């Protein structure tokens, strides 16, 4: 099988660079979806299009076993203007594959081709190409569109590249591995007034500043020190003139947690702090707290299964320290047992930055992991 995968090396790089040149945002992955579908069909797989609008699921059944697993890759890009100057940089201003989904898509395609050629397993593999991971919760949409009812699996697995970790290295952990990501939008409102006469009105800017500072005490004074929470206010807007006290100040940001009880506590304290500080300043406070992506929680048995398969391809460890980034593969892990693993991308620029690029040397490594996982899960 290694010879089969090595023979794909140049083709994998060609596919990946083509995807990189033509990035498409969430649920706009028309070209990507079409290319993925056409290649899968050319490998002889049964292809279903249209889940979550641009999602693709391809099925490869070998042998007489009724067992089935799912492998998932994401396809969408980010609204970032690429600053790289190599030949395969983005051709679409303001859009780029800054998170390596071009590589993820390519690795799963390569695994589909390699497995369709070798057919060295017994059972069914559903190759899940998901849209809208970055901003659209495409994983949730696919689940709601009947992903696991239409394509039943006993387990589901995902993979993401990680800059700073060596190519050929894999890492994951059991339990929460990536955080839940909640979106917060709030407004502090008052009548407004003349900046030279603040005593004649109630100032929403002062109240908003106090609320913001109050929120920063939640993680340090309300959350158990042995648990984790991040509260980040990232936007703050109010007023248009130097001599006018505005009638409202709007703030927004995000909350990251691993445990539902901590998530509940943070939301509760944000409401209490906001409402009480607003009352003290005689202004109004409104909070829209949106629970966005849940925490990515790996199942214990599947974590060790994934690690064992990865160890046959490269180095593998199960003591990865959870990170506060988020992943909508979490929605799939809520529905079926499975595991999400990180694969090293070498010394590339960081994810979500304009100088990032997926390392083509990592492509055959990822393909080998997927193939090994299938052979271990569905032995011939």
Closest alpha carbon to 53 in 78, 33, 77, 37: 33
Q: Do domains 2-177+295-377 and 180-293 have the same CATH topology?
A: no
For the whole model, what pTM was predicted? 0.93
In sign, the C-alpha dihedral spanning 71, 4, 60, 313 is negative
Nearest to 210 by CA among 281, 305, 290, 107: 281
Give me the numbers of helices (H) and strands (E) for the chain, helices first please.
Answer: 11, 16
* Local confidence band at 369 (pLDDT 50, 70, 90 cut-offs): very high
Domain topology for 2-177+295-377: Aminopeptidase (3.40.630)
Band of residue 338 on the pLDDT scale cut at 50, 70, 90: very high
Q: What is the pLDDT of residues 144-197, one digit of tens each?
A: 999 999 999 999 999 999 999 999 999 999 999 999 999 999 999 999 999 999
Give the residue ranges of DSSP H helices in the chain: 2-7, 9-21, 30-42, 101-118, 138-144, 147-150, 204-221, 260-280, 300-311, 329-335, 363-377
Q: How far apart are CA 361 and CA 368, in angstroms?
A: 12
Question: Do the bridges between strand 296-298 and strand 229-237 make them parallel or antiparallel, or are there none, so unpaired?
Answer: unpaired
Q: Quote the pLDDT of residue 193.
A: 94
Q: Name the pairing type of β-strands 155-162 and 68-74.
A: parallel
Let me know if domain 180-293 sits in CATH 3.40.718.10.
no
Task: Average the pLDDT over 277-296 and give the result.
Answer: 97
What DSSP letter does each residue of 203-246 carry, written as one string? Answer: -HHHHHHHHHHHHHHHHHHTS-TTS-EEEEEEEEE--S-TTEE-
Average pLDDT, the chain: 97
* Domain spans, the chain: 2-177+295-377, 180-293
Cβ neighbourhood burial of 286 (10 Å; 0-12, 13-18, 19+): middle
- pLDDT 10s digits, 26-72: 999 999 999 999 999 999 999 999 999 999 999 999 999 999 999 99
Contact present, 35 and 16 (Cβ < 8 Å): no
Give the pLDDT confidence of 262-284 residue by residue, as tens digits.
999 999 999 999 999 999 999 99
């Amino acid at each position: 099988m290694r010879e089969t995968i090595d023979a794909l090396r140049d083709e994998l790089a060609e596919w990946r660079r083509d995807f990189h040149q033509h990035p498409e945002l969430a649920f706009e992955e028309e070209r990507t979806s079409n290319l993925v579908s056409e290649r899968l069909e050319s490998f002889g797989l049964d292809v279903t299009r249209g889940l979550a609008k641009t999602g693709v699921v391809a099925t490869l059944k070998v042998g007489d076993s009724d067992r089935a697993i799912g492998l998932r890759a994401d396809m969408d890009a980010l609204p970032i203007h690429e600053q790289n100057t190599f030949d395969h940089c983005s051709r679409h201003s303001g859009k780029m594959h800054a998170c390596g989904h071009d590589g993820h898509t390519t690795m799963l395609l390569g695994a589909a081709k390699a497995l369709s050629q070798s057919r060295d397993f017994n059972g069914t593999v559903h190759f899940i190409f998901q849209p809208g991971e970055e901003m659209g919760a495409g994983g949730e949409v696919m689940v709601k569109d009947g992903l696991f009812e239409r394509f039943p699996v006993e387990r589901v697995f995902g993979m993401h590249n990680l800059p700073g970790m060596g190519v050929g290295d894999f890492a994951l952990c059991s339990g929460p591995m990536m955080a839940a990501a909640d979106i917060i939008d709030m407004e502090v409102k008052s009548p407004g007034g003349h900046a030279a006469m603040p005593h004649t009105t109630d100032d929403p800017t002062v109240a908003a500043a106090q609320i913001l500072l109050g929120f920063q005490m939640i993680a340090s004074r309300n959350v158990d020190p042995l648990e984790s929470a991040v509260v980040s206010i990232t936007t703050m807007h109010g007023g248009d003139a130097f001599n006018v006290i505005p009638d409202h100040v709007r703030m927004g940001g995000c909350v990251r947690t691993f445990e539902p009880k901590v998530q509940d506590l943070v939301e509760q304290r944000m409401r209490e702090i906001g409402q009480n500080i607003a009352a003290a300043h005689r202004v109004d406070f409104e909070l829209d707290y949106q629970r966005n992506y849940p925490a990515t929680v790996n199942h214990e048995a599947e974590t060790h299964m994934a690690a064992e398969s990865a160890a046959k391809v490269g180095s593998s460890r199960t003591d990865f320290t959870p990170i506060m980034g988020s992943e909508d593969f979490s929605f799939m892990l809520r529905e079926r047992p499975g595991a999400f693993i990180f694969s090293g991308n070498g010394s590339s620029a960081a994810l979500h930055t304009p100088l990032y690029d997926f390392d083509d040397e990592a492509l055959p490594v990822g393909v080998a992991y997927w193939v090994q996982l299938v052979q271990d899960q569905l032995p011939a």
